[in-house]
Chain A
Amino acid sequence: MRRVELAVVGAGPAGLSAAIEAARHGVEVVVFDENQRPGGQLFKQIHKFFGSKEHRARERGFRIGEDLLKEARELNVTVELETVVSGIYDGLELVVTKNDRVEHLRANAVVIATGASENMIPFPGWTLPGVIGAGAAQTMCNLHGVKPGKNILMVGSGNVGVVVGLQLIQAGCSLEAVIDASPRVGGYGVHAAKIARTGVPFHLRHTIKEVYGKDRVEGAVIVEVDEKWQPVPGSEKDLKVDTVCMAVGLSPMYQLSKIAGCETVEDPSRGGVVPICDEYGATTVPGIYVAGDVSGIEEASSAMIGGKIAGASAALKQGYLAQDVFEERYAAFRKSLEQLRQGQFGHGMKGKKITHTQEGIEVSESLLCRGFVDESEILRFPGIPSEEIRMRGLTPVIECTQNIPCDPCREACVKGCIRIGESITDLPSLSKEVQCTGCGMCVAACPGQAIFLLNQNYSDGEALVVLPYEFQPLPEAGDEGTACDRSGNPVGKAKVLKVQKAKTMDGTAVLSMIVPRELAMTARFFRPSGSEERRA
């Protein structure tokens, strides 16, 4: 029987990070994944990540995936693809199936990093072709380059829903609406705002009543729900869509850990049933560790740190790592993880209603109910310069209003224009004395696309608004079009002054447009003329 020092199940961010960490200390590692390509969810994630530099913030998921694979290769980690681990039995014996061939192998330690599966809610018509999971939508458009549909309804406003929603628009699909039964947007406000300003309506407190069509989706009926989650009669809306995309949550894939004999517990704050584990990822079965979504739904950055912790633990256990070196590394990983878990979306915050930010500022209701900060609310946030400053010349306008673990804006500005307090979740604010040169780096770096530059006194009666732009076709200098507000409503004429693209901006174009001065704090999106009006 083949024998390995460490077997890792799952080649997602958690599994690969565990493998890399263990291999770095000399452990011989084999990673198994049932897919044809490694990387788990990472290669579908084409947006820039949040967090800090150490969490690889402002890098896109698929690039992080490429780097993990390279690192694993350099450390001689073996990755066996199209290989399913179907069982783990006494004495850490793994049952591994590849091409219908079953192999048994023995491992000294196992890291289970099987990720999560997508939830589904049944409704009339839910099995019709055209009802797909958000993961499927991402796979089709970001891996295979094929649109999953033309007119799409997104069900679920959590981070998966809003992120995949944006990716569908980037792929050229028309996102008709985002609905959620909850009264508040579940994902980061900055993610929601990116799609709201393209004109996508958010219908909160709405659920899907039915999807209809002969043999394939031809439309969907949504309905409002009241406080008791009961449908409100007469509130139905019929949406002409050919695709319904489900993003209603993830459940940890704990099944393999259960087969292995690990004790499990139902923990709603982690997304469902999870294997019981300690802070080192150790389960109740000696030698078996868990990391990533299987141990509780979070996101890719925390999955990577969880993986490192499990990998280091497995190395320690086999004597490849001295206790004191382990302690030191563990403390650093822990600190990094704790940073990501702070803030209003952090650990234990799920479902809690937040009325004020850490700074004591009243939160934007509009952001929670409609997906964008209303103009009447924006002025109270610390990233918004006073009218006097806006009239003086170019200044950043930072529309980042929730306490999320993120700071690339501060990193991006070499001039020191942008400040974030002690905690990484503090709201970004503006330094008073410093001069913005208009380089656009902060605009491109912000994973929330929440930073704009503004010169309210560009010329007589005109203002200059600079915004991030990640759509095709990319407008060019001189193009005329429509300025839209934060909800995507057309508010006036706009003319493109220039479009900056640079390697360091990593795919985010920085578009400067000239608008009538009175729209300086209103216009936040550019719609080229000729592109269809979403909301007539």
Chain B
Amino acid sequence: MRIKNHPILGEFDKGRTVAFSYNGAPMTGCEGEPIAAALRANDVIIHRYTSKEHKPRGIFCAIGRCTDCVMIVNGKPNVRTCVTPLEEGMTVETQYGLLTQEEAEAKGAVL
């Protein structure tokens, strides 16, 4: 999904490749790019499930306004991944309401 050799912009000036984890699985992205961009490049587009109706949400505005893209990052929920820069070793998890999947299952939420 990464754009190579853009006809107008050429090569993108991206940070070094760093490792992070997505729901426990290893992934790589470019340091400093929004977490959401790194996820999109790895074909991950579901960021969270709503608490009541359990509906999936993904990027909508990509500029930090809509909060559709919030996830649990380094254990902290409600992080807007479209405007939060990726760092080496981050743990990124799908958010279920305000919880991780494990926590949600422990509470007996219907998944």
Contacts and interface: CB of A to CB of B under 8 A. Distances in A.
Interface of A: 34-36, 46, 60, 117-118, 127-133, 135-136, 139-142, 144-148, 150, 170-172, 215-216, 470-474, 507
Interface in B1-26: 1-3, 5-9, 12, 14
Contacts of B59: 129, 132, 136, 140, 148
Contact of B41 (A117, A133, A146): A146
Contact of B7 (A130, A133, A474): A474
Given A146-B41, A148-B40, 16 more contacts: A34-B64, A35-B83, A36-B83, A117-B65, A129-B57, A132-B60, A133-B61, A135-B61, A139-B82, A144-B37, A145-B9, A146-B3, A147-B2, A150-B1, A215-B46, A470-B8
B8 A130 contact: no
Interface residues of B, number: 32
A475 B9 CA distance: 18
Nearest to A506: B8
Contacts of B5: 472-473
B56 interface: yes
Contacts of B68: 127
B67 to A, nearest CB: 12
Contact of B8 (A46, A135, A172): A46
Contacts of B2: 145-147
Nearest to A60: B8
Contacts of A172: 3
A507 B8 CA distance: 5
A139 B34 CA distance: 11
Contacts of B41: 146
B63 A136 contact: yes
A142 B9 CA distance: 8
Interface string B14-52: 100000000000000000011001001100011100000
Contacts of B61: 118, 133, 135-136
Q: Which of B2, B41, B46, B62 has the most CB of A within 10 A?
A: B62
A311 B64 CA distance: 28
Given A36-B83, A46-B9, A507-B8, A129 B47 contact: yes
B7 A129 contact: no
B55 interface: yes
Contacts of A507: 7-8
A135 B62 CA distance: 8
Nearest to B11: A145
A144 B60 contact: no
A123 to B, nearest CB: 14
Contacts of A34: 64
B80 to A, nearest CB: 12
Nearest to B48: A129
Contacts of A132: 58-60, 62
24 contacts: A35-B64, A117-B65, A118-B61, A127-B55, A127-B68, A128-B56, A129-B45, A132-B60, A135-B63, A136-B59, A139-B82, A144-B12, A144-B33, A145-B3, A145-B6, A145-B14, A146-B1, A146-B33, A146-B40, A216-B46, A216-B58, A470-B8, A472-B7, A507-B7
A117 B59 CA distance: 16
A41 B41 CA distance: 23
Contacts of B12: 144-145
Contacts of B1: 146-147, 150
Q: Which of B1, B14, B40, B68 has the most CB of A within 10 A?
A: B1
B40 A129 contact: no
Contacts of A133: 60-62
Nearest to B56: A215
A336 to B, nearest CB: 27
Contacts of A129: 45-47, 56-59
Contacts of A148: 40, 59
A96 to B, nearest CB: 17
